[in-house]
Structure 1
Amino acid sequence: MDATSLRRAIARTRLAPVAAFPKRLVSVARHDAKVLRTSARWLVTSREHHNYTYDLTKLSRQHLAWFVSVVCDVPVKQVRGYLAEVESDEPLRRHIEQTTASAARRGLADRHVRYARRIGWYAIVRATRPAHVVETGVDKGLGSCVLASALLRNADEGHPGRLTALDINPEAGYLVRDGRWSEVVDLVIGDSIASIGALDRPVDLFLHDSDHSREHERREFEAVEPKLAPGGILLTDNVTTTNVLAEHAERTGRRFLAYRETPAEHWYRGDGIGVAW
């Protein structure tokens, strides 16, 4: 009996789990060793303690382009152009690097600029040309910079818009307090629910990225619902954790779609984008 026939014979016996154990052990060991190497490298080279930044894998970036194409009903080639546009925006990259280097909280931020799924936010703003974007949860302001950059590009093409960025932390948003990106950003410090209630103009695009508890996310979508402009789009940065936006979409008669990113060379599993439109 040759080796192949022997393996097949053993696979049909009670010895199969025992015989397969060494191969299974090697597979697990290789996977865990790669994770440990990636984690150790990150611990040494990164300063971030939350809101991790990273690049997307090539495949994940391709899937993101198709995701935006479907949601915004624009050709995928056009979306790829938007993704390349923000990734090659050198003034934006230099602004983030230089502002981070001089910030009081620079000890908890990486100077190397990586946008991850935020390039999808950018493409959605470029494709839909909203007059008013509202973002809850600003932190350093990396996502706000990306959104502001898209709005500035739209304005150059005759479609001006503004970003209302809401955060409860008075130190939030240092990346959008100066420079040309600040010209289209209204940074509001306070409770997001109260701030949404105080909005005085319709919302074309709303992004939840603040307190990621299920209850708070639900309250934000309920609060912004009467503020939405016709055809307003809802985004969540919490789509891998809760089903809140999908449930809200079903209640309000919208379509829903989710994208899950895959980070390149990072221990974090990544997050995603949920859209209701």
Structure 2
Amino acid sequence: MAMTTAAVAAAAQPKEVKLYGAWGSAHAAMARNALELKGVRYEYVEEDLERKSETLLLRLNPAHAGKVPVLVVDDDGGGGGCPLAESLVILEYVDEVWPQAPRLLPPPSSPRARAAARFWARFFHGEVSPLSRAAAVLAPTPEERAEAVREMKARMAVMEAGFERDFPSSVVGGPFVHGATPGLLDVILGSCAAGTRAISAMAGEEVVEPDALPHVHASLAAFDERVAGFGTSVPHELLLARLLEREERRRAAASASA
């Protein structure tokens, strides 16, 4: 008897899924949130990146010196598994292998929207992400910190304008960048919410103001509500304490070696 389309899709999906991440890693949270949104069963492995043995993660992700996240998928259940690294790569893979709602990328019938989503995802990663801005906001002088926050706000304003152009609220019709359900950009922005709030606390001012960045702010708020039960979020106060502690150790080490 011929298999149904659903049965064929289920048979083609990986038998075992394991995700390696670390506490406070927004990139790992992106991968976890995508799997959770799709309802994928997976095993989560917490790694301590400051005390790791270097062996397993280096073997799984040698291109990035053992960074997280790493998604290991086993298609036949034999225990081997193929590792995938980089959060953006993982998000697109998850959307292709598990095509059930919510879809993270716009459909192939909307190539302009798909390209725009990929573009702004890479722009955020490279130019705006709290992960790339935290060190600048922790700069030693108030002037340097203020300049870092101004620069981050300016780049977010560019992204906000791009969202309005490529995903206008009058068209998408929902609180998320992509509409009524979270998509690629919402997963990326929302998974960085704790980092964004930590930077706001460090700077003493809101980085994502609802009046200045309505699309970004709405996405963050809606995503927080959507993933509240996933267990993937961390309190920004704890993340801030970890960032400050790490920066203090870095400066102490720099002073000792000077």
Structure 1-normalised TM-score? 0.30
Q: Over alpha carbons, which structure has the higher Rg?
A: 1
Tell me the TM-score normalized by structure 2: 0.31
Higher helix fraction (1 or 2)? 2
Structure whose residues are more often strand by fraction: 1
